[in-house]
Amino acid sequence: MRSSRFEIKDDQPVSWAVFTKLLPYLGEFKQRVALAMLCLILAKVASVGLPFILKYAVDSLNDASTITPLLLAPIALVAAYGVFRFLNVILGEVRDTLFGRVTERAMRRLGLEVFEHLHRLDLGFHLSRQTGGLSRDIDRGTNGISFLMRFMVFNIGPTLLEIAFVVGILFTQYGAKFALIILCSVILYVFFSMKATDWRTRYVREVNQADNQTNTRAVDSLLNYETVKYFNNEAYEANLYDTNLARWESARRQNRLSLFALNGGQALIIASAMTSMLMLAAWEVQAGTMTIGDFVLINAFTMQIFMPLNFLGFVYREIRGALANIENLFALLKTKVGVEDQPNASPIKVSRGQIEFSHLNFHYDAKRPILSEINFTVPAGAKVAIVGPSGSGKSTLAKLLFRFYDPASGCIKIDGQDIAQYQQLSLRSQIGMVPQDTVLFNDTLRANIQYGDTDADEAALQQAIEMAQLSDFVGRLPDGLDSQVGERGLKLSGGEKQRVAIARTILKNPPIVIFDEATSSLDSHSEQGILSALNALAQQHTAIVIAHRLSTIQDADMIVVLQDGKIQEQGTHTALLELDGVYAGLWQAQQKAH
């Protein structure tokens, strides 16, 4: 069974090619990106100019000759310092504002693409997925894009640009010694940060994995709240949850200790570099080759470089994690769709609704066949029932008709058209389904019924409600159709949920209708009322009824009896009873139980 998790192995390096994958999402606002980059460069020019203004201001104040003209030169330099400081900040704000739109649009585009891709994936993927962990992957991936864009473009890029400016200035103005100290310390810092971060990435991933498992278990337990209560397993669930939390706690502790080692090494490099720069500058001042202003400039440049460089260590760590999270997201996008439309597939056109199952074979695992050589035809407008023991393949036939899976061999035709040759969306628009286990959206009753046709008017909605025997139930609700049904429809009974499912299928009004144990949760009175409505509906539609209660399908035009994935018998209710075979045995067993 496929896993829905996309974890990167601990020894697998995160691909920096993620940046190239993000470029198409940034191409929508080329002018904004260019203007943001211009603001970035101008802000760094202003930032590099600040230490020079400080130098000249200090030298002017230190020079007795500047006292005579009422300190005009130092005051002007201090004012210039304020202007440059303001420009540095305001240009950064303009840059962030311009690029924020670009980042948000990229997150929106990629988020939508992932959402649409998840809906294109086949049923097998969704049956094996872990919803809590998958949602965390999506959240961390989209948030990782925001972090990556913001910090890579506005922190790492500007810092590297500023380092280049400062090294060049120090080399030309003060010689190679100062430039080499800065350059070597920056290279050592970056090298150490990258190696140490790569080493501790495994602990970050372990934290994420433990977080996913904890969240998945919590969501699964809460979704199955009633089951937990039925079996008095609150303590069992709490122990499982605590076990996952303990694993998360251990991973966090290891992550914290590795972070301590990384931060300690970075702090040592920064302290050594700053001490060396200031000692060299003090020596030069003492020797008379540099002024006090030069000393202030060297100190300002050193602090200006290492303050963001210290922050760069955090940014790199987060970018490393963001790259892993984004890579998970792109790995999800790479998941192949199991059932795809053929190139240039056209919409299917259903005029009569005749369904033909021809030499149909299907398996989930080649060693365990589910359906073998299924051959039967559902005439247009007919009501055909499919019955058989549990596990005989009844519901699988419905899934194949919807093209949730493709058969291993054989085909299904509607009005002589092989459904594999046509668009899935158009096919499913022609088929309605009332499932055995109806799961509703956490929304109003109206929204859940109208889901069958979101454009339906009030008259059609009320007609569907009446046909599904829901009118009395809606009338008893304080808020009527605006009542909330709760998560998965837990505020409604099983019969009420099935009637909602029937109502929205009636509202959809497709030419082909499938009822998969559609009345299994109804009482006898409600069942008879809905059966009358369904029979009226079946007169104008092709109906496939997957049934366990044989009493509900006595009037079917044909009954197909499945056993072990093969058709054992076909015929009407009367003919099958006369045959005295599998169907007759099932009928007699149910009559005795009744």
pLDDT (tens digit per residue) in 148-203: 777 766 667 777 787 888 888 888 888 888 889 888 988 898 888 878 877 877 78
Listed in sequence order, the residues at least 6 apart from 182 whose beta carbon sits closer than 8 Å to its beta carbon are: 163, 166, 167, 170, 273, 277, 301, 302, 305
Q: Distance between CA atoms of 494 and 500, rounded to whole angstroms?
A: 10
- CA angle 454-459-463, nearest 5°? 95
Closest CA to 4 of 95, 105, 136: 136
pLDDT, position 102: 78
Could you give phi then psi for residue 458, rounded to 5 degrees?
-65, -35
Query: Tens digits of per-residue pLDDT, 271-290?
Result: 888 888 888 888 888 888 88
CA-wise closest residue to 556 among 588, 594, 583, 521:
583
Q: What's the pLDDT at 491? A: 77
For residue 5, the model assigns a pLDDT of 41
CB contact at 8 A, 453 and 510: no
Q: What is the mean pLDDT of the chain?
A: 80
Count of CA atoms in the C-beta half-sphere (13 A) of 417? 18
Around Cβ 412, how many Cβ atoms within 10 Å?
22
Residues 6+ apart with CB under 8 A from 153: 36, 40, 99
Residue 19, beta-bridge partner list? none
| Residue % of the chain over a pLDDT of 90 | 13
* Angle, alpha carbons 358-363-367 (nearest 5°): 130
∠ at Cα 368 (367, 372), nearest 5°? 115
Each residue of 295-322: pLDDT tens digit? 888 888 887 777 777 666 567 767 777 7
* Torsion of Cα atoms, 315 then 317 then 322 then 323, to 10°: 110
- CA distances, 403 to each of 124, 422, 433, 547 (Å): 12, 10, 13, 21
In angstroms, the CA 66 to CA 59 distance is 9
| DSSP line for 136-155 | HHHHHHHHHHHHHHHHIIII
DSSP-derived secondary structure for 170-238: HHHHH-HHHHHHHHHHHHHHHHHHHHHHHHHHHHHHHHHHHHHHHHHHHHHHHHTHHHHHHTT-HHHHH
- For residue 168, the tally of other CB atoms under 10 A from its CB is 12
Give the rounded distance of the alpha carbon of 35 from its chain centre.
32
Amino acid at 546: I
What is the reported pLDDT for 3? Answer: 39
pLDDT tens by residue, 434-487: 887 777 888 888 998 998 888 889 999 998 888 888 888 888 888 888 888 876
The predicted pLDDT at position 371 comes to: 92
Residue 294 contacts by C-beta under 8 Å, 6 or more apart in sequence? 55, 174, 281, 284, 285
For residue 409, what pLDDT band results from cuts at 50, 70 and 90? very high
Over residues 334-379, the pLDDT tens digits come to 878 778 888 888 999 998 889 999 999 998 877 788 899 999 999 9
Q: Which two tokens stand for residue 246?
A: 């303990």
Q: Does residue 64 surpass a pLDDT of 90?
A: no
Residue 34, exposed/middle/buried by CB under 10 A (0-12, 13-18, 19+)? Answer: exposed
pLDDT value for 375: 93
E runs forming strands in 296-436: 355-365, 368-378, 383-387, 409-414, 417-418, 431-434
pTM of the model as a whole: 0.62
Domain definitions of the chain by residue range? 18-334
CATH of domain 18-334: 1.20.1560.10
Structure confidence by residue, pLDDT tens digits, 580-591 = 888 898 888 888
440-457 burial string, b = 16+ CB within 10 Å, else e?
Answer: beeebbbbbbbbbbeebe
For residue range 242-274, what is the model confidence (pLDDT) as tens digits?
A: 988 898 888 888 888 888 888 888 888 888 888
* pLDDT tens-place string over residues 547-579: 888 888 888 899 999 988 899 999 999 999 999
